[in-house]
Amino acid sequence: MNKGIVPATGKCQYCGQWKTVMIGEDKEYTQAELDQIATSECDCAGAKQAQEIEVMIRKGHRLVKHYLGKTYPESERIMDAAIEPIFRGTDGITKVVIKAGIHTITLQKAIESVGLKVQETRESNANSEDEEDVEEE
Ligand SMILES: [Zn+2]
């Protein structure tokens, strides 16, 4: 039995195509929410690109939590807040660098990936041996 799932229509915000989306009938959806669901399920170029950005944002949150959560909670908070602007291109932000303790933490949008780098800060040598490159595709 398919309980409480009903069809509704939402419009893709990129190609403008109306699509049937399945929603739970126990919740009220606004047209904007229905459009959002339709967009997330559409396979036009614009929607696909937007879906990829969402995937990167989720990966970014996961990486930041994993690599900074225990050592640098405040840096984690700042980097976490920087993920969405970086991947959505807000204000043209492409990279955020934090110097925290003995480490330099860099978060940037790499080609099709999330670039999070935790490097030991050296006075005279920028190329650290203890570089921990945690880029994820
Ligand atoms: Zn579309």
Structure confidence at residue 2 (pLDDT): 55
**Greatest extent of the chain over all pairs of C-alpha atoms, in Å:** 68
Query: Do 16 and 68 reside in the same domain of the chain?
Result: no
Alpha carbon of 51 to ligand 1 centroid (Å): 11
Alpha carbon of 53 to ligand 1 centroid (Å): 15
> What are the tens digits of pLDDT across the range 58-74?
999 999 999 998 889 99
> What are the tens digits of pLDDT across the range 21-45?
999 988 899 999 999 999 999 999 9
Structure confidence at residue 131 (pLDDT): 47
Alpha carbon of 77 to ligand 1 centroid (Å): 34
Query: Do 102 and 60 reside in the same domain of the chain?
Result: yes
C-alpha 50/C-alpha 73 separation (Å) is 29
CB 41 within 8 A of CB 98: no
Query: Do 25 and 57 reside in the same domain of the chain?
Result: no
Alpha carbon of 35 to ligand 1 centroid (Å): 10
Structure confidence at residue 122 (pLDDT): 76
Alpha carbon of 45 to ligand 1 centroid (Å): 7
> What are the tens digits of pLDDT across the range 82-128?
999 999 888 999 999 999 989 999 999 887 788 899 999 876 544 44
Q: What's the rounded mean pLDDT across residues 2-11? A: 88
Task: Provide the residue range defining the domain that includes 128.
Answer: 51-133
The total domain count for the chain is 2
Query: Do 60 and 32 reside in the same domain of the chain?
Result: no
Please give the backbone phi and psi of residue 19, each rounded to the nearest 5 degrees, phi first.
-135, 150
Structure confidence at residue 111 (pLDDT): 77
Residue 91 DSSP class:
G
Alpha carbon of 12 to ligand 1 centroid (Å): 5
Query: Do 73 and 26 reside in the same domain of the chain?
Result: no
CB 85 within 8 A of CB 91: yes
Alpha carbon of 119 to ligand 1 centroid (Å): 41
Query: Do 55 and 110 reside in the same domain of the chain?
Result: yes
The CA-based angle 76-79-83, given to 5 degrees, is: 135
CB 107 within 8 A of CB 60: yes
The arrangement of strands across the sheet holding 95-100 comes to 95-100, 103-110, 113-120, 132-133
Query: Do 37 and 63 reside in the same domain of the chain?
Result: no
Alpha carbon of 93 to ligand 1 centroid (Å): 26
Alpha carbon of 46 to ligand 1 centroid (Å): 6
CB 127 within 8 A of CB 117: no
